[in-house]
């Protein structure tokens, strides 16, 4: 029911909510270790260039689709073009739901590690022992499931309030809290003895370390860090008022998203070097390397609890956006009651999250294409449906909408004509080529 549609109460409310959607585990968990694996400063520069060109252009494209239709992703494509295009919207909704089902499992780990930081059970300097503790936790059949349930309940609670009283209100509290905790942790990390080496690694480019894989990693990180290709920004864009400024709002969201990634790097990499750990430790950097570092740090329990609580906040704002993509489809297309839909989708999400969690432990023998359920869902969404969705959005906006898209972009915005032309060129030619590279790389074809 688009005519009764809720809207953001202010531009700042939208920016904080959209930034909350974009800012997630990818910024704070994934970005530092990807940077560590790809040589530091040079990767950072390439990532920033990618996110403010290709990433920003795709974000604008999704917001145009949402604002112009005031509808869910499937309804938006149906209204704008019809034919087979609504399938792109349905794929985005499916992608959001599947990501939510395993994302909540990993987000539950952040809640658990917040508690374990307070009790001190993970704060051990021996890396092997911390690794064993983490492995024992994620393979346990009950404990991770409990924390997953708590996290899903929190996500549903925020969504129950709707756009203004739920999502926007939560973002107005959670996003400033996230930045405050980040700044406290950055100060602690930079004042550690030996942190200078990590700071230099992160901020001083060494282009001799740049390879083709570095470029692909930066491109992928720029794409995934903005929550593109899953219907989230189309959905949030649909709550914009008809003449809200898309261009400057998109720039603000991208700035906040990139700022969180950079600050997370300033938290983690100086600390890693200060304690002689390796920056290329991969995904284990957060749940294995960092607890051992916090164990050796004065007031380590406090800073560890703050860090994992920070991760939980970032995960929550993203999970709310993923859930909203699914909710708004049933509200728009089926005129269903928001509260009932939110509760039902929450229960279904948990029903899929349980086997995803167990696939790391007692159900690890059951595989899909050689992968456990959690890893299979992660591969399918991150390597196939998200980039494919982003590619089709770029083609749709750049080629099918064409002049309509440009008119939508300048409506309510004072953007310079040269920037409009640059955006149109990127969305028509550069972005599709870049996403094809992400897609073929994710499938291991290059």
So what's the pLDDT on residue 402? 86
- 4: pLDDT strictly greater than 80: no
Rounded to the nearest integer, the mean pLDDT of the chain is 94
So what's the pLDDT on residue 127? 86
Residue 111 · residue 393 · CB < 8 Å: no
Q: Note the pLDDT tens digit of each residue in 285-298.
A: 899 989 999 999 88
Tokens of 5: 């549609």
User: CATH number for the domain including 246?
Assistant: 1.10.4160.10
Domain enclosing residue 345, as ranges: 2-442
What separation in angstroms does the CA of 85 have from each of 129, 358, 393?
Answer: 51, 36, 10
- 281: pLDDT strictly greater than 90: no
So what's the pLDDT on residue 1? 42
So what's the pLDDT on residue 305? 96
CA proximity to 69, closest of 79, 61, 60, 59: 79
Bridge partners (DSSP) listed for residue 368: 371
So what's the pLDDT on residue 82? 83
Phi first, then psi: give them for residue 230, nearest 5 degrees: -135, 15
Cα separation, 82 vs 285, whole angstroms: 46
Q: Note the pLDDT tens digit of each residue in 58-110.
A: 999 999 999 999 999 999 999 999 899 999 999 999 999 999 999 999 999 99
- 2: pLDDT strictly greater than 50: no
- 137: pLDDT strictly greater than 70: yes
So what's the pLDDT on residue 43? 95
Cα separation, 324 vs 217, whole angstroms: 29
Residue 122 · residue 116 · CB < 8 Å: yes
Q: Note the pLDDT tens digit of each residue in 23-64.
A: 999 899 899 999 998 989 999 999 999 999 999 999 999 999
Q: What is the pTM (predicted TM-score) of this model? A: 0.95
- 366: pLDDT strictly greater than 80: yes
3-state helix, strand, coil in the chain (%, to 5): 80, 0, 20
- 140: pLDDT strictly greater than 50: yes
The pLDDT of 354-375, averaged and rounded, is 95
Q: How many domains does the chain have?
A: 1
Report helix angle 56-69 to 403-410, nearest 10: 90
Find where tokens 């609890």 sit.
305
């Amino acid at each position: 029911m688009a005519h009764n549609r809720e809207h953001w109460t202010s531009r700042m409310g939208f920016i904080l909510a959209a930034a909350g959607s974009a800012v997630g585990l990818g910024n704070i968990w994934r970005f530092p270790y990807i940077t560590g694996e790809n040589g530091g400063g040079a990767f950072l520069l390439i990532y920033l260039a990618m996110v403010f060109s290709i990433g920003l252009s795709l974000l604008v494209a999704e917001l145009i689709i949402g604002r112009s239709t005031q509808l869910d992703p499937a309804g938006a494509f149906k209204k704008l073009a019809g034919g087979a295009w609504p399938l792109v919207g349905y794929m985005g909704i499916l992608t959001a739901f599947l990501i939510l089902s395993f994302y909540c499992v990993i987000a539950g780990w952040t809640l658990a590690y917040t508690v374990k930081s307070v009790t001190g059970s993970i704060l051990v300097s021996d890396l092997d022992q911390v690794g064993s503790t983490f492995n024992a936790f994620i393979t346990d059949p009950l404990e991770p499931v409990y924390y997953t349930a708590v996290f899903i309940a929190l996500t549903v609670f925020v969504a129950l309030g709707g756009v203004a009283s739920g999502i926007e209100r939560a973002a107005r509290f959670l996003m400033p809290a996230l930045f405050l905790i980040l700044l406290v942790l950055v100060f602690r990390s930079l004042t550690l003895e030996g942190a200078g080496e990590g700071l230099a690694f992160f901020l001083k480019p060494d282009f001799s370390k740049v390879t083709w894989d570095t470029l692909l990693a930066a491109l992928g990180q720029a794409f995934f860090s903005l929550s593109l290709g899953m219907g989230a920004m189309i959905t949030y864009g649909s709550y914009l008022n008809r003449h809200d400024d898309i261009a400057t709002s998109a720039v603000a969201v991208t700035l906040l998203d990139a700022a969180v990634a950079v600050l997370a790097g300033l938290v983690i990499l100086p600390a890693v070097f200060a304690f002689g750990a390796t920056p290329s430790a991969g995904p284990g950097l957060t749940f294995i390397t960092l607890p051992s570092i916090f164990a050796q740090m004065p007031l380590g329990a406090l800073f560890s609890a703050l860090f994992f609580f920070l991760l939980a906040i970032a995960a929550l704002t993203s999970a709310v956006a993923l859930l909203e993509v699914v909710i708004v489809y049933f509200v728009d297309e089926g005129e269903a009651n928001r509260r009932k839909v939110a509760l039902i989708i929450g229960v279904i999400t948990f029903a899929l999250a349980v086997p995803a969690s167990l696939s790391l432990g007692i159900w690890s023998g059951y595989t899909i294409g050689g992968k456990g359920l959690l890893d299979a869902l992660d591969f399918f969404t991150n390597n196939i449906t998200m980039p494919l969705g982003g590619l089709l959005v770029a083609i749709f906006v750049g080629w099918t909408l064409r002049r309509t898209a440009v008119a939508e972009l300048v409506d309510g915005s004072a953007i310079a004509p040269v920037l409009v032309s640059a955006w149109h060129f990127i969305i028509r030619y550069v972005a599709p080529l870049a996403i094809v590279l992400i897609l073929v790389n994710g499938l291991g074809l290059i």
